[in-house]
């Protein structure tokens, strides 16, 4: 696996809806910009070799970094794979939609739910939204949120941006009734 760069973004929300958020709401994202292991090979019918060579290492690398950047226990989390224009969306999906990748984050965050995800193909500098959900109960509405990310010089056409995101809380100023009130 060739990593060109790692980008860390920490967002601290101090005001929402004209009201102070205290303590500030924190969301962290760590993204690795890697060479697409299938770039230049045409259609690859079996992606297993690239998954085996990269997915677990990526999960093991990014999981502690995003939790360290958050500086608090994670309550919500998500993942992303943004594929450069010379790749397929399936290339990004292959790396992040495997337990070899996601279990590292689940274990590090003491989580049990599946990681919500975004995967897409885009040009260098494309913005993408990472969906987040609660780490142990995906039906907790307060933790359904999204963080927007952009790596200015990535992905190049033959690269993939693989990212993990974590939030230390639900949405600032959330006030929706629990899902159970509608069932």
What does pTM read for this prediction?
A: 0.95
CATH no. for 3-182: 3.30.1330.110
Q: Are 101 and 60 in contact (CB under 8 A)?
A: no
Within 10 A of 107 (CB to CB), how many other CB atoms are there?
A: 11
Dihedral sign for Cα atoms in the order 123, 125, 127, 128: positive
- For the chain, the domains span 3-182
pLDDT of residue 178: 76
Q: Are 28 and 158 in contact (CB under 8 A)?
A: no
Beta-sheet strands, E only, within 17-158: 19-35, 76-83, 117-121, 127-134, 145-150
Tens of pLDDT, residue by residue, the chain (183 residues): 899 999 999 999 999 999 999 999 999 999 999 999 999 899 999 999 999 999 999 999 999 999 999 999 999 999 999 999 999 999 999 999 999 999 999 999 999 999 999 999 999 999 999 999 999 999 899 999 999 999 999 999 999 999 999 999 999 998 887 777 777
pLDDT of residue 183: 73
pLDDT of residue 181: 75
Q: Which of 137, 133, 149 is nearest to 10 (CA)?
A: 149
pLDDT of residue 112: 97
């Amino acid at each position: 696996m060739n990593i060109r760069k790692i980008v860390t973004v920490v967002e601290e929300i101090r005001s929402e809806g004209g009201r102070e958020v205290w303590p500030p709401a924190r969301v962290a994202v760590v993204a690795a910009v890697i060479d697409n292991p299938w770039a230049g090979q045409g259609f690859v019918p079996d992606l297993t070799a690239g998954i085996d060579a990269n997915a677990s290492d990526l999960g093991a690398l990014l999981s502690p970094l995003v939790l360290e950047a958050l500086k608090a226990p994670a309550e919500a989390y998500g993942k992303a794979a943004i594929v450069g224009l010379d790749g397929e969306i399936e290339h990004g999906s292959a790396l992040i939609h495997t337990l070899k990748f996601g279990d590292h984050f689940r274990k590090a965050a003491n989580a049990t739910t599946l990681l919500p995800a975004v995967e897409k193909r885009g040009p260098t500098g494309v913005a993408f939204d990472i969906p987040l959900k609660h780490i142990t109960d995906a039906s907790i509405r307060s933790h359904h949120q999204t963080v927007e990310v952009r790596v200015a010089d990535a992905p190049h056409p033959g690269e993939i941006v693989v990212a993990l995101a974590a939030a230390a809380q639900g949405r600032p100023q959330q006030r929706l009734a629990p899902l159970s009130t509608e069932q």
